[in-house]
Amino acid sequence: MQSIVIGLITITLSMSLVNGLQVSILSQELPSDQNQLQELLSKNLDYVHKADISTSTMTVLLNGISLNQSDFILLYDSTPFASKGHVATNLPCDTDNPYNPLFNFLVGRAPDLFVMPLGYIEQISNPGKMCVYHGQFGFGDPVTDVVLKYVGDDPITLGGPHSVVISTHEYYKPSTESLQELQHNDTSH
């Protein structure tokens, strides 16, 4: 009897390796093939879809935009869905201290936004004219909004090469309600 059980386990493991794609009802990874996805959803009643994994990229050209201190530009809003992603930007910077950007990226769920840490990419930057910064968002608290805020002292007008690229990798419905959802669900007013 023991040899039969070991044989069945061996066959199961071998088939898993040969088939390559083993999707269980507990797996949150989606198959890339549409037919496999349909089969997964139709045959497994206890499957809970958590997120869509797809890549979307948006480039925002900032040429000619003038900003004063604390002015901001709303770059991205995916409400009610949160997303995970990456920001790459080419912006003016301080010649003496390019590691301290003149702009902050605020991310989160409005009105709860926080400053996203940025990494300065020295190899492709030209301090005084343009600096390249990268940052990740959504790998902690849910992010539905991305805002570019000018934190420099003097008014600024952005030029031709200045831009922001936002790439999103995953969309999901946050488990907690946003302020907007709380306001719409509040019937006491």
Kindly report, residue by residue over 109-146, the tens digit of the pLDDT.
999 999 999 999 999 999 988 999 999 999 888 999 99
Reported for 55-60, long-range contacts at CB under 8 A and 24+ positions apart, including other chains, are 55/167, 55/168, 55/169, 56/167, 56/168, 57/165, 57/166, 57/167, 57/168, 58/165, 58/166, 58/167, 59/163, 59/164, 59/165, 60/163, 60/164, 60/165, 60/166
Q: Report all structural domains of the chain as residue ranges with CATH numbers, in order of start.
A: 2-43 (no CATH), 51-172 (2.60.120)
Task: Indicate if the pLDDT at residue 43 is higher than 70.
Answer: no
Task: Indicate if the pLDDT at residue 13 is higher than 80.
Answer: no
Q: Against a cut of 0.85, is the pTM above it?
A: no
Higher pLDDT, 177 or 5: 177
pLDDT of residue 82: 92
Task: Indicate if the pLDDT at residue 178 is higher than 50.
Answer: yes
